[in-house]
Structure 1
């Protein structure tokens, strides 16, 4: 029984991961993110790929990014602060994980 449950959980994660990535990309486009960030080019804020590269391999990178997305940040990428965003904890985490995957 235990093996069956583990197999079902593993199989379920295969279908959930692409859905989360799609949801995060929709969040990125639907929230204010795309007004300041693009995938490859610095705009008002750094490119998504630059952000992913900066945090690659860092302990709790997802948590750090999720906190910056939800609460804003200042001084991490120069003088321009990033304002807090109207997102839930789950949305901020999904966006952070999506950013890290894009690197």
Structure 2
């Protein structure tokens, strides 16, 4: 039982990056060039993304995939460029941060 609990806590800690770290990750990977937390720039506000995905099963996985593969037509005419250089773990961290309101 203790091993299961310890493993669960370790798994959760991988996604529980401090908000500052996620903001830094978003800035480092140029996400903030097109997005802001609370207002539309070229792309949607992160808060609007969180609202769109709210309650969806596997939202973090879907958003992480959109971050890495890019997409078009979800938010208007400007496509989201693919970010294939972004590590899967970093994409998941960013997706989790965005879905949590990007605080």
User: Shorter-chain-normalised TM-score: which range?
Assistant: 0.7 to 0.9
Paired residues, number: 101
Question: Do the aligned residues in 2 keep the contact of 1:49 with 1:102 (CA within 8 Å)?
Answer: yes
Aligned to 1:73: 71
Question: Do the aligned residues in 2 keep the contact of 1:73 with 1:82 (CA within 8 Å)?
Answer: yes
Structure 2 length-normalised TM: 0.82
Please give the alpha-carbon distance, in whole angstroms, between the structure 2 residues aligned to 1:90 and 1:65.
Answer: 12
Aligned to 1:63: 61
Structure 1 length-normalised TM: 0.82
Question: Do the aligned residues in 2 keep the contact of 1:20 with 1:94 (CA within 8 Å)?
Answer: no
Aligned to 1:91: 90
| Cα RMSD, aligned residues only | 2.3
Decide which structure has the larger Cα Rg and report it.
1
Partner of 1:40, secondary structure, is coil
Q: Which has the higher helix share?
A: 1
